[in-house]
Amino acid sequence: MSGVWRFPVILAALSLLGLASAIVGDGLWHWVCWIGLSVPLVVCTVKLWRQWPPRVPSPSRAGGR
Amino acid sequence: MKPANLRRWRLVHRWTSLICSVNLLILCVTGLILVFHHEIEHLMGDEFDTSYTEGQARLPLESLVGVARATNPGLEPKFVSFDPEEPGANFIFMSAPGVRDFEDGRWVMLNGYTGANQVLKPPEETLTGFLLKLHVDLFAGFAGQMFIGVMGLLFVVSTVSGLVVYGPFMKKLAFGLLRFRRGTRIANIDLHNLLGVATLVWALVVGLTGAILSFSPLILTYWQETELVSMIGRHTEPMTGTPVTVDQAAQAGLAAFPGMQIAFIAYPGNEYASDRHFSVTVRGQTELTQKLLSVALVDAETGQLTETAEMPWYITAVLLSGPFHFGDYGGLPLQIIWALFTIITGVVTVAGFVVWVKRPRTRTATSEAGVQDASDSRMGSKA
């Protein structure tokens, strides 16, 4: 599998597993659902967190100090 | 992929997304709140009293129908419905004698254990009812619902075409690269790509099931006018005696499908039953089998089972679409996850719109953007 599709396919598979599992049963199936569907959300959060531009202090504030 | 094909897919993605974007944002905002409709109804006191004590016996259906008759003189019961999530909730549809359809009449909501009659507020008078109506048909009735269905299909096409153009675009970029310092357009393209591809399966499933649910009146009418009419058509004997009670009909229906529970019962003489038969529809007990319905025709004169049938695949598809669209089948954690996915879908929509607004307007600008993209691509492949 090419590098472009590796992560999207993994996230898609986990999402499918998550969506399908809670309809099958309760208990453990619910946990599989919550974890499977949380992974794409966690990946988005981590990517945003790591690459969010740092706040640059405004010149007036910097000058004030 | 050939450049001409890729250009066509880009056009499909651009225009399907743009056409459904405003509607999609309305659906995201209303859907985000509706995910928590149970909690909101509870907080606002709009919830029905379905309470009962442990071991308390259910009242016979005939006595519940009696309560509904007493509070609606001149009307007859046509339909009794049960909520699988709320065992205490019974809904009875009452309308004038001889009326076969469900256009004019009223629903009576009763506690199946106490017989307490509860007033059903018109949907517009509750917050969740208002939002649901906005979500389902934009307050435009059947036409509005079909419009939403078409928007849902456009969203599905937009999602699939987005996936097709994602591959070539990301060829030289690292997964999840976010170039926030490269200007508004590049930053929004990256945000759109990351959030879009990460939530793609969820968006596809919710979009497709939403479209199916929007077209459900057409699908139900098709079933009713083909398979149900054909089933009823095999039993056209007229009604001559006194009908059995609805409890006897329910028992005969349940006996035909051991281990199942009643979903709804249609009285003889309406669109969902024959002139002489009750139609007793049953469902399973688990989360999955609750969506799989079977029908038993019960002779209203003898109380005997006449015929049984399974629901066709397309009705099962409609019934299974419900949980996969509403996200109400995995407890509060799934509701929260559903809400987060809905927010991300809104962000993807807005980011895509910004990308379109900030598009290069001239040929020179296009070639400059191409140079910039190539430069960014190199950076991305290093990242």
Residue B253 covered by a domain: no
Provide the number of CB pairs (under 8 Å) joining chain A to chain B. Answer: 86
Residue B191 covered by a domain: yes
**Which residue ranges make up each domain of chain A?**
3-64
Highest mean pLDDT, choosing among A19-33, B108-122, B205-219, B237-251: B205-219
Domains in chain B, number: 1
B363, pLDDT greater than 60: no
Q: Which whole number is the average pLDDT over B203-230?
A: 95
Residue B132 covered by a domain: yes
Distance from CA of A61 to the nearest CA of B (A): 22
DSSP B305: E
Nearest CB to B333 within list A4, A16, A34: A34
B378, pLDDT greater than 60: no
- Per-residue model confidence as pLDDT tens digits over A44-63: 999 999 999 887 776 665 54
How does residue B26 score in pLDDT terms, banded at 50, 70 and 90?
Answer: very high
Domain span including residue B25: 3-42+128-214+331-382
Q: Please give the C-alpha separations between residue B103 and each of B231, B365, B383, in angstroms, as whole numbers.
A: 23, 58, 62
- Per-residue model confidence as pLDDT tens digits over B31-57: 999 999 999 988 988 778 888 888 889
pLDDT for position A59:
66
B113, pLDDT greater than 80: yes
Residue B302 covered by a domain: no
pLDDT for position B371:
39
Residue B221 covered by a domain: no
Q: Check B287 against A25: CB less than 8 A apart.
A: yes
Q: Are B188 and B358 in contact (CB under 8 A)?
A: yes
Q: Please give the C-alpha separations between residue B266 and each of B222, B245, B296, in angstroms, as whole numbers.
A: 18, 12, 11
Q: Check B344 against A11: CB less than 8 A apart.
A: no
Candidates B201, B319, B334, partner chain A, best to mutate (most A CBs within 10 A): B201
Nearest CB to A38 within list B286, B287, B337: B337
Q: Check B197 against A22: CB less than 8 A apart.
A: no
- A19, closest residue in chain B (CA to CA): B324
Distance CA B201, CA A11 (A): 8
Distance of CA A63 to the CA centre of its chain: 39
pLDDT for position B92:
95
How does residue B362 score in pLDDT terms, banded at 50, 70 and 90?
Answer: low
Q: B89-95 and B106-111: which strand pairing? A: antiparallel
- B174, closest residue in chain A (CA to CA): A4
Q: Please give the C-alpha separations between residue B247 and each of A45, B39, B303, B365, in angstroms, as whole numbers.
A: 55, 33, 10, 75
Residue B303 covered by a domain: no
Q: Which whole number is the average pLDDT over B211-219?
A: 97
Q: Would you state the torsion angle of the CA atoms of residues B132, B88, B100, B311, taken in this order, to the nearest 10 degrees?
A: 80
Picking from B124-128, B327-331, B341-345, B353-357, which range would have the lowest pLDDT averaged per residue?
Answer: B124-128
A35, pLDDT greater than 70: yes
